[in-house]
Structure formats: structure tokens, C-alpha cells
Amino acid sequence: METFTIRDLPERTGELVRDTEAVKLFDEEAISLGKAAKLAGVTQSEFINHLAALKIPLARYGADELAQEVTAFA
């Protein structure tokens, strides 16, 4: 994701809306990483970096799932 000035906003509004929607839908677990990246118009790698910058995790474990994973590795 790139940086731009407020003067660029009129020409970039659609791009910003797509990016915001892609992040929101991914964060709500409504769409996959691949679909979110495609919606945002970037590669999966770029989208992963964008999510990291926003501090949005790629994987989420519930308490039960996490306990099972920890038990499996112990």
C-alpha cells in the first residue's frame, strides 16, 4: 500500500474504499486472504504486510483451539 497526499484523494477514493472494505471483510473473517488481496488490488504478500502494519492477525485461535495446539506440542 502506498502513501499519497490529500490532493490525490479525489482520484484515489475508489482504491481507498476497496482497500478498506477488503481489510474489514478479512478482519471479520467474511472472506479469505486471497479474496481480500484481490479485492484490494494487491498481491497476497503485499496484503499480509498491510495487515501487519495495521496489527491485524492472520490467524486467530479460540481458547479451546489454542489449548489443543499447546497440548499437541508439549
Give dist(CA 23, CA 44) in Å, integer. Answer: 12
- The conformational region for residue 47 under phi > 0 = left, psi -120 to 50 = alpha, else beta, is alpha
Percentage of the chain beyond pLDDT 90 is 39
* pLDDT, mean over the chain: 84
pLDDT value, residue 25: 93
Mean pLDDT of successive 10-residue stretches along the chain, which has 74 residues: 68 69 92 93 92 90 84 84
Q: Say if CB 2 and CB 24 are below 8 A apart.
A: no
How do residues 9-28 score in pLDDT, each as one tens digit?
677 655 666 788 899 999 99
How many Cα neighbours within 13 Å face the side chain of 22? 25
